[in-house]
Structure 1
Amino acid sequence: MRKISVKIIISALLLFICGLNTYSQKYTFQNELELLRRVDLLPAYRHNQLIEQESSYDRTWGNDDGFSGKYSYIRKEKGTLVLAEFEGPGVINRIWTPTPTNDMLSFYFDGEKNPRLRIRFMDLFTGQVYPFIKPVCGNEIGGYYCYIPIPFKKSLKIVFEGEKIMFHQIQARKLQGMDVESWTGNFSESDRKLLSEVSNLWADISPTVKNYASGVSSGIETDQKNFTIKPGEEVTFFDKNSAGRIVGFEIDGGTSFEGVYKDILLSAKWDNEKVEAIYAPVADFFGYAYGKPAMRSILMGRYGTTNYCYLPMPYDRTASMKLIYKERSGVQQNPVSINVKVYYNSTKRNPKEEGKLYSTWKREKPDIGKFYTFLKTEGKGHYVGTVHMAQGLRPGMTLFFEGDDSTYVDGKARMHGTGSEDYYNGGWYALLDRWDRGISMPIHGSLDYSLPMNRTGAYRFFLSDKLSFEKNIYHGMEHGGVGNNFPVDYTSIAFYYAAQPLLEKMEPTAELRENYLPSTHVYFPQLMQVTPDRGVGVILDRGLMISAYGEGGAVRVMLNDVPEGNYRVLIHYHERKNGADFQVWQRQKQLSDWISTKASQDSYKEKVHVGDIQLTQQTNSVTFHVRKNGTADLFELNLITLEKIN
């Protein structure tokens, strides 16, 4: 029998005792809050910490996801609505709604008869009640969100003390086998200091790698390269043959990644695996929206001309990163000057406790009736981010974004959302100052919104709420409110950490690297950019209501977003007893004669051709001149449609 040294025995005992101490220590609000800033912990597994979500989704797979309130509560109890009941130990990581009220929310912990936390629903998001401070809680793009953790030891029941609640999502995580300290409402100086640090980090609109160079990501070195890449070339900019981790990287190519074509790819491999861990157009990887930079989160995006990614990437033996410039026939492609910085250290990955970063890029026109899949994989890991460009293939309203997200973990349905913009912490697309443009927030946002182009896009990163799986995960999105019934062209990148390498990839062909440009464009009144002249009054109601007085006047409507070209102009309007006359111009060019909208009975005219225009950046508008027809003085415009003339 071999002799075992006393030193080895003592070391083993110390490790065992440390393990017992870690297990027996209380898991507190502060432990969970730390996850909102410690990006270096993103690769770390959360063993058997599975997520679950209560939401107001339509249980019949229809589209009544909160409109009526029918599915917005579990049961009624003593005149209140029970929204959620979770068995502990666990923690609430995220609460979202687009419809907060001033009614009270009560949180009952561990079977107690009295709520430890009672707060106005709205005050979860206003920043006026501590610790629910901005920007960890807040609202933009139509949605109200809260990421302040609410831990519970045995159970948690959430009760709404109002008559009706509409849309909501409440996401929780199991903390199996942990000694969790339930929410107390008392915060130490160290709690307050940590929350302040989290708030400052989330408010930083110009993040740097220094924000995340802590823990296993500390002690970074920088590998910087400047080079020019030509069509048909591949340039490796990072190549290491010893264990370590990439803490982040930055790529500055000026404006070269912008435009219709996405011909420069980013590629990365860990440990000589057969399939690349990252393989995607640079523009898609960094959240560009249809040829323009758009994403500016605390983890990834672009500011100035610098594209940045601060997701940690541990590897065991080797790491290689390169840019690939794909050739495109029939198009002038210029050489591109690139400046790259890779931040790394030599901290080895712990294979039992950390996964490697993988991303799956895809672009697909899913069949009617079929879900769009962000990620479907077997093995162990956790999902940490989605970047998603959503293009409708039918002109009109962006109804494809009615689709719900669905998540299955280890063979069980865990999360069902209430609409696509809701998944991204937004709400109410196509409404003024809500989901109506690209807006970047710390870990979520809208990348673009255009009714005329029938498209949008969004992103969401998961920190404390990352989606752990032990055996498998499916994470996908509907397109359309019911039955995946809206034709779409979706592009996405799913980011996750895993114990097993990728088995396959989608090749970005020349066709898939080109942004789609529709040929028909519809302008809706709620987002029209209008300028009235003298002699008219304008009200946005069911349509663009233009009232003429005196000699009448004019209203200009901007035709933004649409590519330059020649178009037929079609308009939709109402005829009625008090209908005025109108005439259409493009600046100083008359398109139509005077058209009367006066009629004995109300009627609706669709796609009336009023002329053809040449659209440029200088001529992207039409003007409606309106005059009285006797005493009739109202012109109601509903839609403007442009059809491309080839």
Structure 2
Amino acid sequence: MQKSIRLNQYCYISIIFACYFFISCENGEKHSQSIKYISYVELVNRLTDLKSLSVLPEEGEKSEMWSSYDRKSRVDSITGEFIDWSANNDGLSPQYIRKEGNNEVLAEMDGPGAIVRIWSASPKKGKVYIYIDGNEKPILSESFIDYFKPTVPAFAFPNLVYETNAKGFNNYVPITYQKSCKIVAEPGWGQYFHFNYITFKPKTKIEPFNANLTETGLKALASVDDFFGKKLGQNPNDGNLDKIIKEVSINSGVKTTVYEFEDSGAIGSLKVRVKNVPKEREDEILRKTILEISWDDENEPSVWSPLGDFFGSAPGCNEYKTLPMGMTKNWMYSYWYMPFKNGAKIKLHNLSDIPITVTMEIGKEELKGDIDNLGRFHAKWHRDLEPVDEERWPDWLMLKTNGSGRFLGASLSVWNPKGGSNTKAKEGHYWWGEGDEKFFVDGETFPSTFGTGTEDYFGYAWCNPSLFNQAFHSQTIDSDNMGHQAVNRWQVIDNIPFQKTFDGYMEKYFANDWPTQYAMVVYWYLDAEGKDPIKATPTDEVYGFEIPYKVFRKPDVLEAENLNITSNSGGWATIDAFAHESLYKSVSGHKILFWTAQRNKKNILETEFTSQRTGLFEVYANIIKQPEGGKFNIQINGKRMRTINFQSSDSTYATEIIKIGKIKLNKGIQSIQFKTANNHKFPQKMWIDYFEFRGK
């Protein structure tokens, strides 16, 4: 009897243990299923994966940025008041979180996550340390300038790590971490930074970064780098697309359906060519031809944009290639992935006064998986949305949308014929692109992305107007910041996911009537039930809205801003400075050569120019006298000219044309040297508008 009881007890205990084991195993299996593993190769592949961007974000997924923005800008935690919201001392006021000894903490992130973009305008030799997962030894310990050079094996990819033609330093090599990341800089690291980083949903397991990457990691980076270097303009997801080619003729004022899908699917490529347009009317036709795309029988199109603007550059057709968008001799192309559930309609509206012929190639793919988990592609062109409250000046609204989705970037067309200013824009701002981007996600009171300048967002620096195109950004028009500029930035691996709301702003310091006028296309994914509030722009406001302005230019002179600076042993020198706006009627081209001499330096500035003439010339200089002006000696081809006093007798700024001597020139390269004439007062400033060589 006792044995039987004992056996029953053993059986009972065994059954309980078995049940416990079964439940534990089942929970363990469920637990393991809830943990998502992301290899380094998989993350690298996201650099070219446009298709997965349409997948709606998971809870906990984020994309944020640490930067050197001016910390005076803040939001009162109690009142919600925006304080010093226009502060613009980016990179000069404390540009760090805190100090640890003499070092500066630039960024701190909780994992699992990855740094996916590093940018700077002026990286120097001071070291920057990246610590991950609480380790005392940094995973990277390099001079900040070397984060943008191939000195580290993981960064030896010139199409992922580079300086643009327009002076911006960029690094798109992902740096992963599981628990945390901390970035610390020693003195002398440089000026200005962005660290864009993404955070994965909780319980994600990420392969950790190592500066000496595995062979598979190096191969993945090499493959992406090769694609960006040799294959931009090709579709990275082209394998399963059925190509449909349609040619339509559209009369003046007519809107026509180019193609209509009645089932489900996705557009994986869209190419357009406009035929037989007179070259002199190309800008107008590409702005007056409106592209509309509607998904799932919606009443308002999700895509509404002038054709040229939609494809990433305006006005006109300006050849460039980036990963998702471009303009070539044969096509304007888009490789954004555009899924739909219940049909799609592609329409073109000809607002011009002449008939046009358009060829369109559409690449369509069958959908697999859950369509309800895919966002709908949106792209909207606008000039000015709702204004902000005065306390939020100078914010300019890019996009405000509700629902779940991903922000993908923007294409900005700027009309700025007058150039810079130092009074109209307030606070001493000298050019149109001073403004920071500010992105508020899911009701944030303070933006999780707060930038350092418009050109910095677009990946370049120092208001340099030079042309460039890389995989994720480009500048396609160069009018020397005095006319049209066209820039774009695509946020692919650094797309910004949102669950409820996205409110994006770009600071715009110059008013429309300066004139500085923006036209922008914003691109994003939004769930099928989300709210897109951007309506179509009235047709009479699409073209010809730019306020005309004619810049004063003195004929047959050597503009000082066209000099080539060959050496400088003094203070800051630039040929891209704008004069005081009160002098615009007497400063040719509004720009000047600006140089500041400094104490205890040699203060010699060497420049050169090319002369197309030979002969004996009297030389005149149009200079700007100002309160902090100094005395400077000038030599042309080694011959001493007249010493010029740039200091005004009062606190005013004024131009003055001065004869500085005679010089014999032979056709070819000439030199002009500037040197301080005294060392008594500092700083000493020199502003020169132009030189005029009068002779035969």
2:296 is the counterpart of 1:271: yes
Deviates more, 1:418-427 or 1:94-103: 94-103
| Inter-partner Cα distance in structure 1 for 2:514 and 2:419 | 11
**Larger Rg computed on CA atoms:** 2
Q: Is the 8 A contact 1:403 1:484 kept in 2?
A: no
Question: Residue type matched to 1:498 in 2?
Answer: L
1:335 Cα deviation (Å)? 2.3
Query: How far apart are 1:326 and its partner, in Å?
Result: 1.1
- Among 437, 454, 457, which residue is 1:423 paired with? 457
Q: What is residue 552 of structure 1 aligned with on the other side?
A: 617
Tell me the equivalent position of 2:135. 112
What is the deviation of 1:252? 1.0
Indicate conservation of the 8 Å contact 1:258/1:283, yes or no: no
What residue in structure 2 maps to residue 528 of structure 1? 562
Whether the 8 Å contact between 1:53 and 1:172 is mirrored in structure 2 is yes
Q: Contact 2:71/2:95 (CA < 8 Å) preserved in 1?
A: no
Residues 395, 521 of structure 1: 8 Å contact kept: no
- Which residue number in structure 1 is paired with residue 500 of structure 2? 471
Match of 2:441 among 383, 401, 409: 409
Mean Cα deviation higher: 223-232 or 458-467: 223-232
Do the aligned partners of 1:452 and 1:522 also contact (CA within 8 Å) in 2? no
- In the TM superposition, what is the alpha-carbon distance from 1:184 to its structure 2 partner? 3.0
Conserved? CA contact 1:380–1:472, under 8 Å: yes
2:266/2:339 contact within 8 Å kept? yes
How far does the alpha carbon of each residue in 1:27-68 deviate from its partner, in whole angstroms, 9 at most, with x for none? 232221110022211211231211222111002235554442
Distance across 2 between alignment mates of 1:198 and 1:77: 37
Structure 1 residue identity aligned to 2:66: E
In 2, Cα distance between equivalents of 1:109 and 1:144 = 23
After superposition, residues 84-483 of structure 1 pair within 5 angstroms as 84-132=107-155, 133-140=157-164, 141-163=166-188, 165-177=190-202, 178-204=204-230, 206-209=232-235, 211-213=236-238, 218-254=239-275, 256=277, 258-260=282-284, 262-327=287-352, 333-348=353-368, 350-364=370-384, 369-392=393-416, 395-396=419-420, 399-412=431-444, 413-429=447-463, 435-451=464-480, 453-480=482-509
Q: Which 5+ residue runs of structure 1 have no aligned equivalent?
A: 1-14, 328-332, 430-434, 531-538, 557-570, 581-595, 611-623, 641-646
Contact 2:294 2:300 in 1 (8 A): yes
Aligned-residue offset at 1:176: 2.5
Could you give the per-residue CA deviations for residues 424-462 of structure 1, whole angstroms, max 9, x where no partner exists?
Answer: 111001xxxxx2233222111223342473443310001
Deviation at 1:349? 6.4
Residue of structure 2 in register with 1:587 after alignment:
none
- Which of 534, 537, 542 is equivalent to 1:512? 542
Cα shift at 1:281: 0.6
Taking a change above 3 Å as real, the CA distance of residues 295 and 274 of structure 1, as seen in their structure-2 partners, is farther
CA 1:598–1:498: 2 relative to 1, 3 Å = closer
**Aligned with 2:407: secondary structure?**
strand
Q: Do the aligned partners of 2:420 and 2:432 also contact (CA within 8 Å) in 1? A: no
CA distance in 2, matches of 1:579, 1:395: 30
Indicate whether 1:45 and 2:74 are aligned.
Answer: no
Task: State the 1:17 CA deviation.
Answer: 10
Tell whether 2:69 aligns with 1:57. yes
Distance 2:481 2:42 in 1: 47
Q: AA paired with 1:490?
A: Y
CA contact under 8 A between 1:302 and 1:308: conserved in structure 2? yes
User: Structure 1 residues 456 and 205 mapped into 2: Cα distance closer, same or farther (>3 Å)?
Assistant: farther
Q: Deviations over 1:209-262 (max 9, x none)?
A: 3x222xxxx421011012222211223222110000000110011473822452
What one-letter code is carried by the residue in structure 2 that aligns with 1:344?
K
- 3-state secondary structure, aligned to 1:304: coil
What amino acid sits opposite 2:273 in the alignment? D
Q: CA deviation at 1:287?
A: 2.2
The two structures, once aligned, show a CA RMSD in angstroms of: 3.9
Quick one: which of 78, 95, 99 aligns to 2:101?
78
Q: Secondary structure at the match of 1:291?
A: coil
Task: Check conservation: 2:406, 2:498, Cα contact below 8 A.
Answer: yes
Residue type of the alignment partner of 1:552 = F
Structure 1: distance between partners of 2:620 and 2:361: 51
> By how many angstroms is 1:280 displaced?
0.9
C-alpha distance in structure 2 between counterparts of 1:183 and 1:551, whole Å: 66
1:347 aligned counterpart, secondary structure: coil
Q: Is the contact made by 2:57 and 2:404 (CA closer than 8 Å) also made in structure 1?
A: no
- Deviation string for 1:91-124 (max 9, x for gaps)? 1111110111122221111111111222221122
1:41 partner amino acid: S
Distance 1:309 1:161, change over 3 A: same
Query: Equivalents in 2 of 1:293, 1:311: separation in Å?
Result: 20
Conserved 8 A contact 1:280-1:508: no
CA distance in 2, matches of 1:555, 1:600: 15
- Separation of aligned partners in 1, 2:406 and 2:560: 40
| Residue in structure 2 matching 1:542, options 594, 600, 617 | 594
Q: Following the alignment from structure 1 to structure 2, what is the Cα–Cα distance between the partners of residues 187 and 228? A: 54
**CA distance change for structure 1 residues 513 and 22 in 2, over 3 Å: closer, same or farther?**
farther
Q: Is the 8 A contact 1:254 1:305 kept in 2?
A: no
| Aligned counterparts of 2:188 and 2:261: Cα–Cα separation in 1 | 61
* Secondary structure, counterpart of 1:520 in structure 2: coil
Assess if the C-alpha contact under 8 Å between 2:631 and 2:646 holds in 1.
yes
SS of corresponding position for 1:201: helix
Q: Distance in 2 between matches of 1:545 and 1:149?
A: 41
- TM-score for the superposition, normalised by structure 2: 0.72
* Equivalent-residue separation in structure 1 for 2:68 and 2:563 (angstroms): 34
Report which stretch shifted further, 110-119 or 94-103.
Answer: 110-119
| Seq. identity, % | 23
1:529 Cα deviation after fit: 7.4
Deviations 1:269-295 (CA, angstroms, capped at 9, x unpaired): 001111101111101111233334254
Displacement after TM superposition at 1:193 (Å): 2.0
Hey, what's the Cα distance between the residues in 1 that align with 2:52 and 2:242? 19
By how many angstroms is 1:351 displaced? 3.8
Q: Which moved more, 1:408-417 or 1:356-365?
A: 356-365
Secondary structure of 1:265 counterpart:
strand
- Quote how far apart the aligned CAs of 1:22 are: 5.2
How far residue 155 of structure 1 moved from its aligned partner, in angstroms, is: 0.9
Residue 208 of structure 1 aligns to which amino acid in structure 2?
Answer: Q
Higher helix share: 2
C-alpha distance in 2 between matches for 1:71 and 1:600: 34
Worse-superposed segment, 436-445 or 278-287 = 436-445
Task: Give the AA of the match of 1:230.
Answer: N
SS of the residue corresponding to residue 96 of structure 1 reads strand
Q: Secondary structure at the match of 1:259?
A: helix
CA, structure 1 residues 525+219, in 2 after alignment: closer, same or farther (shift >3 Å)?
A: same
Q: How far apart, in 2, do the equivalents of 1:574 and 1:88 lie?
A: 56
Aligned partner of residue 542 in structure 1, secondary structure: strand
Q: Per the alignment, in what secondary structure is the counterpart of residue 442 of structure 1?
A: coil
- Could you tell which deviates more after superposition, 273-282 or 103-112? 103-112
Shift of 1:173: 1.6
Q: How far 1:372 moved relative to its partner?
A: 1.3
* Corresponding residue of 2:637: none
**Alpha-carbon deviations, 1:505-544, whole Å to 9, x = none?**
13242233226253232679564379xxxxxxxx965289
Compute the displacement of 1:390 (Å): 2.2
Change (3 A) 1:25 1:411: closer
Q: Note closer, same or farther for the CA distance 1:460–1:315 as it changes in structure 2 (3 Å cut).
A: same
Contact 2:419–2:431, Cα closer than 8 Å, also in 1: no
